[in-house]
Structure 1
Amino acid sequence: LELAQQNGRVVAALNAAKEIILHRVGNGRPGSKVSRYLKLYFLAQDIHERASSSHYPYNALTEAFFHSDVLFRCQRLLRQQGKACQTLAESIQLRQPFIYDDSFAQALGDLNASLEHLRIQSNPAWRGLLRSLRALAANLSTLDRLLGDASNPDALADATDSNLLDRAPRNLKEMWTRLRTQLTPTSLLFRHALRLSLALTVGYATLHAIHASQGYWIILTTLFVCQPSYGATRRKLGQRIIGTAIGLTVAWALFDLFPNPVVQSMFAIAAGLVFFINRTTRYTLATAAITLMVLFCFNQVGDGYGLFLPRLFDTLLGSLIAGLAVFLFLPDWQGRRLNKVLANTLTCNSIYLRQIMQQYAAGKSDDLAYRLARRNAHNADAALSTTLANMLMEPGHFRKEADVGFRFLVLSHTLLSYLSGLGAHRDTQLPTDVREHLIEGAGNSLAASIDEIATGLANKQPIAIQSDAEEGLAAELEQMPDEIDEAQRLVQTQLALICRQLGPLRTLAAHLIKETGAA
């Protein structure tokens, strides 16, 4: 679960980077500086796919190689590469050269030596596992090369398809189409718009009823606290109240310690700076800072002490209005749409799988269609993680499916890891005689099965718990003679791992449909 949540944060960072680059490029061609950042962005996407890939159930590897140091070697190399990513990030932020540590080659050499030692022992029980370990080592070796290339991104070849998907509407027709699709009570945005309008109307009526001296604080608090979901509103509400209380406490101490107006004006400037730095990342600190700034500014022209209680009272009142609005008026309980979120996650994974198989058929190419499918799959995984986190903050009656949701998240994230492992080796050349069998046969069959589960979830239709066809396909994929081509073995192993995930996914999906149907 921690891995899935961290993956969500990585996806959010990648999306933010894409939007900034897209904004800088606009409709023209990227300059040399932006082109450099674009290459680093594509490099980060490739690193993310390889870092999130999985080549075998790691608990089985841990049991089999408990007395070997091979997994420790993998862990050590991964830790070093993670630190290298942090160093690269600091180099980009500070505009300094990035120097990749040559000592990492020693860690990679130690891993290969450990693998060779296991191979020499010729243990028949390890034969299949060692092949998965070699695929893992090859993936780590490529990661090592990618991080080395980051030291001179200008030398990287330009991507054959460097387009970024601009989701902004391009004309009035597209704008109207998007608006029309949201003008329905089933739309979360439409319901939030109605809810927010009602909350602001109530806040406006309240400030006139109580004749608050700074009543706009009530409306501002309602505006900032009221979020599309109950869980997000509850989180923001707590941050707003705690931040306001901290700001008032610090302001009271600084008022007494530094009564000089000039010093207080400097504190106001510093507090404003802290607010703008943290307003999108640390809302509690940002709220405390803006409270400090407001009080110091008011103290320049009047009595700042007299605003302590009104500020606290108005914040509590605005938060109460926002909380009641989200709870009572058109509430969007996450459990009611959990089936659609799960269905979207599986659908995006199915599209990702189809794109991967196309890459194996036509050759590796990081084109827009592939990158979009990969990003959508990770976005859907992150959205599921966020939905479940919000569900945990809802009243008990509305989060009774949370346990099923988290079990589904573990399975779907594992499925995504196997897909990433398959995508990480797209440069593998398959023998001509097995392409049709694996790509047209097994690949399309697995994608169709994932789509079947997703359709059942989305429409709340009964889902078969067991599929004999999938069991037969998994058994067929796992039957690999010793003389089989290594490239085919790698692809076939990943497809078998994906196939084995479908049974547990079917069971959980059927359970969820049964529970929601009974409710």
Structure 2
Amino acid sequence: MLQFKNTAWYLNLKTEFWRHPNRLTALKVVTAMFALVLPFIVTNHAYIAVTLALGVVAAALSETDDHPRGRLKALITTIISFAITTCSVTLLKPFPLIFGFGFIASTIVFVIIGGISERYRGISYGAILIGIYAMLGYDNDLDWYVQPFLLCSGALFYGLISLFLLYRKPWRLLDEQLSMGFIALSKYLEEKSKLFPSSTNEQVDIGNKLALLNVEVVNALEKCKEVINIYSHEVDDQKDLLPYLQRFMLLQSLHERAASSHEKYERLGNKIEYKELLEGFSELLHQLSHAAELVAENMLTGQEYNHPVSIGWIVNALEFEIEKIPEKDQQLLILLLHNLSRSHVSLKNLNTPERSTSIPRLGQDKRTVKERIKDQLRFSHPRMRYAIRLSFCFTIGFLLNYFLELEKGEWIYMTSLFVSQPTYRETRQRLFQRILGTISGVVIGVSIIQLLPTDLGQMLLMLSCAFFFFLYLRNKYSYAVVFITIYVLSANNLTSSAGMEILIPRTIDTVIGALLSFLAVRFLWPNWQYKRVPKLLADALDKNANYFHTILNELNDKNTKSDDDYDYRLARRLAHKADNELTLAWRSMRVEPHKKRKVMDQAFTLTYLNHALLSYVSALGAQRDILHIKQNIFHDTAQHIENTLVETSHLISNNSRSNADISLKPLLVTLKDKINELDVSEERQQLRLLYNIGAVSNKIMNEASAVKR
């Protein structure tokens, strides 16, 4: 009996251990740090211990998701770049002007190199960070090679541990990325469940939240695709990727169905007799959300996925209840139920997918390294502007540090590096998080350090803060800032025994660095969203039109459908990415200066309408395999809607000027009359869905004139 309890306890602990990727990363960092730091703390070599630990932190922040072979290449590149950076700092530090010029120039170079790929982005960021660490730890009394050797040794030690663990579980990173995708989908489904029942006003608010959550799902899908492509370049047998590709394709399919909208459900929500029926749909979406969460857990822990039996019961109950309501109202819900039922069946058959030997294609960036760098060497490119802004912050920080002879003024650089982001919204958000987090961290850290006078106690504090920093880094940055501040304080205190006297200087340095970042993004070529909205809207309409066109092609001729659905999936992906860009532009506009919030209301309306249009088109796409179009008016109207979307896109972007009447109103009237003539049937449902696509397109066309450039 005791053995059984121990076994159960062990299994529960193991499951909990693998369920949280952030905990695994934090534990990996602290383990590497502890193994390096403890011997030198015990032997009173605090400088060596702290420098090695900083190397571990820089390496961990440089790490990106990669296949073991790719991770080995990345580790070699990381150590070489770290060695060049740290040696340059220690050799040039005695020559301020040369050092300053090299620091600024190398920052621009590293940022541009980081634009090559996600792998290089992590390495270049780590190289800049470890250079600042080398400045903070610079000691003129030491030989020039000592600090670079220690920092690179710490980075190498962590890299080897991480590489060893990755070789033990080479597919773990794919599991983590796919699980994040299913978790994002789960949140989307949970929010959508609030639509049933809901009023018109509530639907606008929920629609706005769904658009923001859709950003998370699409970003997760993009990250999954990127990691799968990385693995595809490294694995020997592409068929080893097939299970992960099947999960990825399932996630895409579930997202399309989740993003689908067939009708304006408030029409039934206003009827009391349908309240329980709509609550049933709410519960179905809630249970599907829970199922997506279980799939994510299955990917992380390896436990078998058990599909909730309750979902089948709810589907059967809803089918029974829908048959009781008038046929006129049935059509509002029957397509929705069918759509959700297909998601239920797909999840139910998760462990027994259709056997396939073909490897579906995923879009890849086929540009060469030279082409990727060349694309960034334009002043209008966001990454080039980011590089110049960051180098500007470092330049002002360097001048202040040089002329005012600040003690550890390198904190200004480090703060600017953490706060500076490509966009105004992200930088502004980081500004407050960094200042408040740093001030809180300094106050808390200095207080705790006074209570832990021994080196061993401060080492434990440093390790604990490192763990919590990496635990909260992805999800709660403000918390992470507090812990990394305490970490750096305890590390500095171990080497310099500084006490309360560092409280004010560190706070001032942090405020200066954060303000420099804010001023740079505020006044150096700010790309205000009101200037971007017309282009983003035009692009979103164009991509929606292409998505719609791809669906119509498959409906018109089933034989045009490719074996792996690549063209369709690409059109769908681009439509969602364009919708995300428009959503993020509106989201960013809300925190910009009041004078720059032009077309704020129009941007909100257009974001909501474009997401609604994408939802209706997704509903048509989700049904494309089973739809059999019989009405000629469907094809004629669909073609006219597609042409209208393209024409509106061109007019907004000023790519063409047409005097043609592109109003959809007369066509919608004709289509509505045709719908009213038909009895309740599949054809009537198809035309209603098309009518909704046309109606939203017409609204967008009318609203778009307010933001036309």
Matches within 5 A, 1:373-452: 373-431=571-629, 434=631, 438-439=634-635, 441-452=636-647
SS of the counterpart of 1:103? helix
- CA contact under 8 A between 1:225 and 1:237: conserved in structure 2? yes
AA aligned to 2:443 is T
Assess, with a 3 A threshold, how the Cα gap between structure 1 residues 223 and 147 changes in structure 2: closer, same or farther: same
Between 1:86-95 and 1:27-36, the stretch displaced more is 27-36
Instruction: Tell me which residue corresponds to 2:168.
Output: none
Over the aligned positions, Cα root-mean-square deviation in angstroms equals 2.5
Identify the match of residue 496 of structure 2 among 299, 302, 306: 302
Matches within 5 A, 1:32-43: 34-43=241-250
- The CA deviation at 1:143 is 1.1
Report sequence identity in percent: 29
Q: Deviations over 1:279-318 (max 9, x none)?
A: 3333212222211211111122222424332221111111
- The CA deviation at 1:193 is 2.8
Instruction: Tell me which residue corresponds to 1:17.
Output: 224
Confirm whether residue 211 of structure 1 aligns to residue 405 of structure 2: yes
Assess, with a 3 A threshold, how the Cα gap between structure 1 residues 159 and 46 changes in structure 2: closer, same or farther: farther
- The CA deviation at 1:72 is 1.6
Between 1:418-427 and 1:455-464, the stretch displaced more is 455-464
Q: Deviations over 1:86-117 (max 9, x none)?
A: 12212211221110012221111110111011
Q: Gaps spanning 5+ residues in structure 1: where?
A: 120-125
Instruction: Tell me which residue corresponds to 2:262.
Output: 55
Identify the match of residue 461 of structure 2 among 267, 273, 279: 267
Q: Deviations over 1:232-278 (max 9, x none)?
A: 21111111112212222331332233333212212212222222343
Between 1:380-389 and 1:160-169, the stretch displaced more is 160-169
SS of the counterpart of 1:495? helix
SS of the counterpart of 1:117? coil
AA aligned to 1:380 is A
Matches within 5 A, 1:184-203: 184-203=378-397
Matches within 5 A, 1:52-451: 52-64=259-271, 66-119=273-326, 127=328, 129-150=329-350, 152=351, 155-158=353-356, 160=358, 162-167=360-365, 169=367, 171-172=368-369, 175-176=370-371, 178-305=372-499, 306-363=501-558, 367-431=565-629, 434=631, 438-439=634-635, 441-451=636-646
- CA contact under 8 A between 1:339 and 1:457: conserved in structure 2? yes
The alignment's TM-score, normalised by the length of structure 1, stands at 0.89
- The CA deviation at 1:184 is 3.6
AA aligned to 2:419 is V
C-alpha distance in 1 between matches for 2:431 and 2:237: 42
- Give the length in aligned residue pairs: 497
Assess, with a 3 A threshold, how the Cα gap between structure 1 residues 463 and 190 changes in structure 2: closer, same or farther: farther
C-alpha distance in 2 between matches for 1:161 and 1:426: 22
Q: Gaps spanning 5+ residues in structure 2: where?
A: 1-207
Q: Deviations over 1:164-193 (max 9, x none)?
A: 112263x35xx33x4444444433333333
Assess, with a 3 A threshold, how the Cα gap between structure 1 residues 27 and 265 changes in structure 2: closer, same or farther: closer
Q: Deviations over 1:11-33 (max 9, x none)?
A: 11222222222222225465666
- The CA deviation at 1:376 is 1.4
SS of the counterpart of 2:707? helix
Q: Deviations over 1:419-459 (max 9, x none)?
A: 1110110112425x64x6534x3333212211111112222
AA aligned to 1:3 is L
C-alpha distance in 1 between matches for 2:250 and 2:496: 55
- CA contact under 8 A between 1:356 and 1:423: conserved in structure 2? yes
Instruction: Tell me which residue corresponds to 1:123.
Output: none
C-alpha distance in 1 between matches for 2:379 and 2:239: 47
AA aligned to 2:334 is R
Assess, with a 3 A threshold, how the Cα gap between structure 1 residues 22 and 246 changes in structure 2: closer, same or farther: farther
Q: Deviations over 1:328-356 (max 9, x none)?
A: 22121111221111111111111111111
The alignment's TM-score, normalised by the length of structure 2, stands at 0.66
